[in-house]
A and B are shown apart, each in its own frame.
Chain A
């Protein structure tokens, strides 16, 4: 492992803690609210599950319940930002940005307003709610938007840091969160910065670039691959835009074999961003793990990660075949 990443020491032990990433966002929002009294929060009838409740209790006059009206929520937020507020909007990603992408495009990005869009319940790990609520296209939707920052934290601790960091930036920002309890991978000491990726594990044969809760699956896979004499490097890339092209390119040019993995469509998300980078600046070979042009479905997180080829077993299988030079 890369010691400077200061990862959670109980990462591969039974004591490993599972915490919903959105919980870290809720805590970070309260931190941001304490740091700056122009920070506000809005929700579209999802106060509790978006974890905005602590903020609403701490700063009732800086919280707005807009009811089931996602288009109004983000457009309202652009008006609030026009008069100096720093609003965070919260809803499930399939509704926001899924239903209000044009309002975000026109009144926040083109209009250059300081609004942060938080997309909850992204990925198949939403579980039982099924495809309608499992947003898989949000990274692509937001990444393609000019003037938009896109962050996908890997655990609740990173989500908390990302929320505080986003509150300090001016301009449009998007952060994607998962619903289910997932592994606490990092610690308070793990570095986080918008625009930066982090080397979580050194390796020389293959580079695995991951974001979101699947970073843990990548670390599990790398640990197993070591036993097969395959040295896998693991990079956590929470900042999809701006992408840390320096670190990713240096790793890709070292190993010449790259796997990306994300709980989103393999098209247009982290995989798309890395593919664009490598196509222009590297000869490394890329294989993208992610949702392969499908919608999600109901199930448990492990069942679904297995079904969609996102768990450590799938990574190990792909890494082995790439390493033996047998992959597609």
Chain B
């Protein structure tokens, strides 16, 4: 491991704070998903992914695609912390003329591998990359695709999963953010996805289920996926939406709104939501008493 688990947790915490800051500044965007995926992104960009932030087009790099583009605050915050662009640029999120568009647009920001937002196309694109890379390079370039559970209600997703299974794209790893929420509520109420792991297995994928907030499990699953040669791998990451801010956790109402936009019963009032969220993050939900701000 390049970093210790504690270092990774600190980086993830910094990313979560950056997410809150940029969402407040933008005044729009998604909160729950990005906070929930901060650990997965930290593990990928700071431990597992083969990449050079200063050379975003380095030909031998792994390819990392975000399929559910709406959680791009965590992608941008991670990229900034990894050195793709200055962290000061994070406050331009969703503003006119920004490189950090509301949903990721490849042609605007070096280091983005694709344009996404409309759900269900990530695994197809990743499969195309994996198939194409496997045709040429002997080198073990890997393709990582982060996708959401809700996105598995799209037909396109299953066409891709079927294709990758048939073609044994073992240089492809999909990470599913299994946070059980979507815009209108809980996935199992809206359009149930369970048994989820069995679906992927039935489509000839190797499946690993992990706690999406435990760095040991995240990293070992990602390393394990590199060692599977006859199948693509799906890592089902059980994550808590809104992770890190207690009043947001598990709450689907925080799917598509930034802090300070809406009053939710049981939560701090709008005016102080962001301040409260940042305080939770700095004190690990009150575990650290010594804060005297």
Asked if A76 and B160 sit within 8 Å, CB to CB, the answer is yes
- Cα-based distance from A111 to B130 in the complex (angstroms): 18
Residue A78 at the chain B interface, CB threshold 8 Å: yes
- Write out the residue numbers on chain B whose beta carbons fall within 8 Å of the beta carbon of A112: 106-107
- Cα-based distance from A77 to B126 in the complex (angstroms): 10
Residue B257 at the chain A interface, CB threshold 8 Å: no
Asked if A83 and B132 sit within 8 Å, CB to CB, the answer is yes
- Cα-based distance from A80 to B129 in the complex (angstroms): 5
Residue A130 at the chain B interface, CB threshold 8 Å: no
- Cα-based distance from A111 to B133 in the complex (angstroms): 19
Residue B268 at the chain A interface, CB threshold 8 Å: no
- Write out the residue numbers on chain A whose beta carbons fall within 8 Å of the beta carbon of B225: none
Residue B202 at the chain A interface, CB threshold 8 Å: no
| Known A82-B63, A110-B115: A72·B131 in contact at CB below 8 Å | no
Q: Which residue of B lies closest to A84 (CB)?
A: B132
Asked if B129 and A71 sit within 8 Å, CB to CB, the answer is no
- Write out the residue numbers on chain A whose beta carbons fall within 8 Å of the beta carbon of B129: 79-80, 82-83
Q: Which residue of A lies closest to B160 (CB)?
A: A72
Q: By CB atoms of chain B within 10 A, which of A71, A79, A82, A85 has the most?
A: A79
Taking CB atoms and an 8 Å cut-off, the chain B residues in 152-167 that contact chain A are: 155-156, 159-160, 162-163
Q: Which residue of A lies closest to B161 (CB)?
A: A72
Residue A303 at the chain B interface, CB threshold 8 Å: no
- Cα-based distance from A192 to B116 in the complex (angstroms): 36
Residue A106 at the chain B interface, CB threshold 8 Å: yes
- Write out the residue numbers on chain A whose beta carbons fall within 8 Å of the beta carbon of B105: 110-111
Residue A46 at the chain B interface, CB threshold 8 Å: no
Asked if A82 and B159 sit within 8 Å, CB to CB, the answer is no
- Write out the residue numbers on chain A whose beta carbons fall within 8 Å of the beta carbon of B120: 71
- Write out the residue numbers on chain A whose beta carbons fall within 8 Å of the beta carbon of B106: 111-112
Taking CB atoms and an 8 Å cut-off, the chain B residues in 86-125 that contact chain A are: 105-107, 113-118, 120-121, 124-125
- Cα-based distance from A228 to B187 in the complex (angstroms): 71
Interchain CB contact (< 8 A) of A102 among B107, B118, B125: B118
Residue B81 at the chain A interface, CB threshold 8 Å: no
Of the listed stretches A61-69, A262-270, A281-289, A312-320, name the one at the interface; the rest are far from the partner chain.
Answer: A61-69
| Known A76-B131, A107-B121, A110-B105: A82·B114 in contact at CB below 8 Å | yes
Q: Which residue of B lies closest to A105 (CB)?
A: B118
**Smallest CB–CB gap between A269 and chain B, Å?**
26
Taking CB atoms and an 8 Å cut-off, the chain A residues in 50-100 that contact chain B are: 61, 64, 66-67, 69, 71-72, 75-85
Residue B288 at the chain A interface, CB threshold 8 Å: no
| Known A76-B160, A103-B156: A71·B124 in contact at CB below 8 Å | yes
Asked if A76 and B125 sit within 8 Å, CB to CB, the answer is yes
Asked if A79 and B135 sit within 8 Å, CB to CB, the answer is no
- Cα-based distance from A103 to B119 in the complex (angstroms): 10
Residue B128 at the chain A interface, CB threshold 8 Å: yes
Asked if A75 and B116 sit within 8 Å, CB to CB, the answer is no
Asked if B114 and A71 sit within 8 Å, CB to CB, the answer is no
The 9 closest A-B pairs by CB, nearest first: A79-B128, A75-B124, A72-B159, A83-B132, A69-B159, A111-B115, A79-B125, A76-B128, A79-B129
**Known pairs A66-B163, A75-B124 / 5 extra A-B pairs, C-beta < 8 Å:** A67-B162, A76-B127, A80-B132, A106-B115, A107-B121
Q: Which residues of A contact B (CB under 8 A)?
A: 61, 64, 66-67, 69, 71-72, 75-85, 102-103, 106-107, 110-112
In the complex, 6 of the A-B residue pairs with CB atoms within 8 angstroms, ordered by the A residue number, are A79-B114, A79-B125, A80-B129, A81-B128, A83-B128, A103-B124
Q: Which residues of B contact A (CB under 8 A)?
A: 63, 105-107, 113-118, 120-121, 124-133, 135-136, 155-156, 159-160, 162-163
